[in-house]
Amino acid sequence: MGRIKYKKKKPTGERDLHLELWSKKKKHYCQNCDKDLGDDPNPAYFSHIIPKSKEPKLRLDPDNFKIICFSCHQIYEFGTLDQIREFNLTDEQKKYLKQNNYLRYYKIYGDD
Nearest-angstrom CA–CA distance, 66 and 48: 7
pTM for the complete prediction?
A: 0.77
Domain boundaries of the chain, sorted by first residue: 14-109
Of 40, 51, 101, 41, whose CA–CA distance to 76 is shortest?
Answer: 51
Q: How far is CA 18 from CA 70, 99, 102, 104, 105, in A?
A: 15, 23, 23, 24, 24
Please report, in tens digits, the pLDDT of each residue of the chain (112 residues total).
566 665 566 678 899 999 999 999 889 999 999 999 999 999 999 999 888 888 889 999 999 999 999 999 999 888 888 888 788 778 888 888 888 877 666 677 666 5
